[in-house]
């Protein structure tokens, strides 16, 4: 059986067009950290959106992802970088729940909510155990999650319906168009949200040339649940911010955790 995460991300170009934008300010934030640390391990690097800027900032970056197609696009992106920057990046196909590298890093980062692909506590703990093994004694682990918005969850529970269907249209090169229809179903008992996407591509004459159905499931995580999880996995919380521009933690926005070894 194909892993649903692989199935979703193997259409790497579609992903990049639809939701490859990240969180406001995150690239500058991680680049700044990388400049200071000099050596970085990035988990679930995707198409290299954060990887290449961190390398441009002067850091040597080991970046891993589960999906070969995402890494292929990351590699392609790197072709336009100068030679010293290209040499500082190592892209690896690996699972953030089970990896073993012969190196410890002063900085490990998991940007853009990728940790929320881990749907069970066991998977989360496996990932954090790997992080622990790869962090230097004084090292920092930085993880970004979205903070679940309880107003949206409550509205969903009242109606009992999947979320409204949204439609986003993107104009592509050569006058092609991509139309994405999506709807979200929430499962509060499991703290999971499942997005269903229909992605349809049209040629310049308006003829449909491909239509794909994707499903993506993410786990939402509450603030104090994460504090317990980190403590259980041997980390101490150094800070929790509400975004990448120094904002305080606020309900329903971002969780930006900075952790050290306990
Ligand atoms: C939302 S994208 C984020 C990509 C990138 N970090 C960024 O900021 O643009 C999530 C990425 O997590 C990767 N991913 C999901 N589960 C993974 C796992 N168990 N191990 C490694 N990568 C994983 C996906 O393949 C995808 O590239």
Residues 82 and 192 in one domain: no
130 and 21 assigned to the same domain: yes
Cβ-based neighbours of 141, under 8 Å, separated by 6 or more: 108, 109, 110, 131, 135, 235, 257, 258, 259, 260
Tens of each residue's pLDDT in the chain, 262 residues? 468 888 888 888 888 877 778 999 999 999 999 999 999 999 999 999 999 999 999 999 999 999 999 999 999 999 999 999 999 999 999 999 999 999 999 999 999 999 999 999 999 999 999 999 999 999 999 999 999 999 888 887 778 788 889 999 988 888 899 999 999 999 989 999 999 989 999 999 999 999 999 899 999 999 999 999 999 999 999 999 999 999 999 999 999 999 999 9
If one counts the domains in the chain, the total is 2
Look at residue 1 in the predicted model and tell me its pLDDT: 47
Domain co-membership, 241 together with 175 = no
Spatial separation of the C-alpha atoms in residues 15 and 260, rounded to whole Å: 32
Look at ligand 1, atom 9, and give the residue with the nearest C-alpha.
Answer: 49
Residues with CB under 6 A from ligand 1: 5, 9, 22, 44-46, 49-50, 65-67, 70, 95-97, 111-114, 117
CATH at 139: 3.40.50.150
Both 231 and 108 in one domain: the answer is: yes
Distance CA 171, CA 197 (A): 18
Q: Let me know whether 120 and 25 are in one domain.
A: yes
Check: CB of residue 77 under 8 Å from CB of residue 52. yes
Residue 207 makes CB contacts below 8 A (sequence gap 6+) with: none
199 and 237 co-located in one domain: no
Output the six-digit token pair for 229. Answer: 């999880």
Q: Which of 2, 50, 68 lies closest to 244, judged by CA?
A: 50
* In a shared domain, residues 163 and 39: no
Distance 72 CA to ligand 1 centre (A): 13
Nearest CA to ligand 1 atom 6: 45
Q: Let me know whether 48 and 81 are in one domain.
A: yes
Predicted pLDDT at 154: 85
For the residues of 164-227, what is the DSSP string, one character each?
PPEEEEEE-GGG-EEEEEEEEEEETTTTEEEEEEEEEEE-TTS-EEEEEEEEEEEE---HHHHH
């Amino acid at each position: 059986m194909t892993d649903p995460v692989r199935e979703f991300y193997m259409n790497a170009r579609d992903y990049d067009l639809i939701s490859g934008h990240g969180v406001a300010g995150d690239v500058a934030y991680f680049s700044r950290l990388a400049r200071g640390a000099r050596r970085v391990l990035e988990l679930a690097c995707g198409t290299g959106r954060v990887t290449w800027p961190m390398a441009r900032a002067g850091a040597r970056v080991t970046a891993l992802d589960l999906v070969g197609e995402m890494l292929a696009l990351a590699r392609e992106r790197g072709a336009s970088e100068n030679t010293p920057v290209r040499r500082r990046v190592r892209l690896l196909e690996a699972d953030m729940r089970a990896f073993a590298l012969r190196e410890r890093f002063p900085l490990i980062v998991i940007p853009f909510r990728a940790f929320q692909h881990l749907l069970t506590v066991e998977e989360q703990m496996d990932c954090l155990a790997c992080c622990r093994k790869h962090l230097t004694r004084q090292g920092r682990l930085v993880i970004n999650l979205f903070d679940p918005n309880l107003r949206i969850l409550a509205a969903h529970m009242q109606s009992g319906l999947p979320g409204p269907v949204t439609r986003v249209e993107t104009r592509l090169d050569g006058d092609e168009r991509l139309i994405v229809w999506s709807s979200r179903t929430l499962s509060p008992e499991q703290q999971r949200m499942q997005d269903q996407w229909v992605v349809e591509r049209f040629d310049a004459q308006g003829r449909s040339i491909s239509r794909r159905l994707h499903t993506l499931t993410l786990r939402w995580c509450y603030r104090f649940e994460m504090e317990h999880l980190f403590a259980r996995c041997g980390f101490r919380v150094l800070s929790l911010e509400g975004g990448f521009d120094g904002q305080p933690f606020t309900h329903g926005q971002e969780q930006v955790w900075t952790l050290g070894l306990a």
